Amino acid sequence: MIADDKAKYVGDSVAIVCTIASIVDENSFYANCGENSGVPAVILVDYDDTVSLNKGQAVRIMGTVEEPTQGVDSSGRKLTLPAIKAQFIE
């Protein structure tokens, strides 16, 4: 639902289970969180330290939905993605 309506859930708390799609940098990663019409629902997660994370790793994300941000998917397409400020990942 967050991927479908990027602005509706801004400020809401979430707890979702996802798979790490790719590590963007030391402070963020893309996560696949279910599907949207057969296409992976991708979110950008801001996290303080991605060094211990790996692509394909399952993560439980608890955090607050932030304003959508510009990003690039795995095909190189520029997209507006929902973002979550992560408070805890296990």
Q: pLDDT tens digit string along 18-40?
A: 999 999 899 889 998 887 677 77
Domains and CATH numbers, the chain: 13-89 (2.40.50)
The pLDDT assigned to 88 comes to: 57
Where residue 87 falls among pLDDT bands split at 50, 70, 90? low
Read off the pTM: 0.69
The pLDDT assigned to 9 comes to: 87
The pLDDT assigned to 40 comes to: 74
Q: For residue 55, how far is the Cα from the chain centroid?
A: 13
